[in-house]
Amino acid sequence: MDNWLKTSVLMAAIVALFMVIGGMLGGKSGMLLALLFGGGMNVWAWWNSDQMVLRMYNAQEVDAQSAPEFYGLVAELAQRAGLPMPRVYVIHEEQPNAFATGRDPEHAAVAATAGIMRLLDYRELRGVMAHELAHVQHRDTLLSTVSATMAGAISALANFAMFFGGRDENGQPVGLLPRLAVALLAPMAASLIQMAISRAREFEADRGGAAISGDPLALASALQKIEHYAQGIAMPSAEAHPETAQMMIINPLSGAGSMAGLFRTHPETAERIARLHDIARGVG
């Protein structure tokens, strides 16, 4: 519940930031237009996000005939979680990673790389896919889409304010320095908020995945292996679309391990593993 409260506060902050930029562009009318613009973008992203992301990664759909073990694993976990069967995809990338997408549990998809299926044993892969189904169960796939879309819209509006200016509540043109500050700081603030939302949701998905699989130590073991190998193997699809990094079970971007805490899309893997061991011991 603490993480849900934190997520709600962060989402409110990103909406407030959106409204501040809209107000700078045109007072109260600008705020309203900014919200309408953001709402339209979110409706489009909500409806199209799953296919859009899967195309970015050239994901290939599989079924019980083409990938019986992997498909059966997901089917068993979906049944345990009380979820509709998601569509199942394989990404032909060597980096070990996985993600979930879709606007709701009835339109969800889960995807795993060929690399993660080669690296992990059955029990560990089961722990990873339980984590992804927990994202579906918690509707994090929608939340990540909304936060990413809002962050992108804030950057677009900030650039618009920089180059085309705006007017304050009294109809006076906004000066260059305030516009420059908004253009530089607003996208950074939006990204920081988006990353904080992502970190909070990862902890909840770890906890939810442990409950779905009934085996928290399997996910802990998988995270340890993935962390060890992922940073040494590039993922070109993720590098081409860095805004999708927050969706992965481990940050797929090169140099991710050197990021400062605020700029992490994911919590420290060591902390995630420690929490999973606490769950296995019945602590917290």
The residues assigned a catalytic role are 132
Contact 207, 282 (CB under 8 A): no
Task: For residues 168 and 185, give the distance between their C-alpha atoms in angstroms, rounded to a whole number.
Answer: 19
Q: What is the 3-state secondary structure (H, E, C) of the chain?
A: CHHHHHHHHHHHHHHHHHHHHHHHHHHHHHHHHHHHHHHHHHHHHHHHHHHHHHHHCCCEEECCCCCHHHHHHHHHHHHHHCCCCCEEEEECCCCCCEEEECCCHHHCEEEEEHHHHHHCCHHHHHHHHHHHHHHHHCCHHHHHHHHHHHHHHHHHHHHHHHHHCCECCCCCECCHHHHHHHHHHHHHHHHHHHHHHHHHHHHHHHHHHHHHHCCHHHHHHHHHHHHHHHCCCCCHHHHHCHHHHHHCCCCCCCCHHHCCHHHCCCCCHHHHHHHHHHHHCCCC
Contact 129, 73 (CB under 8 A): yes
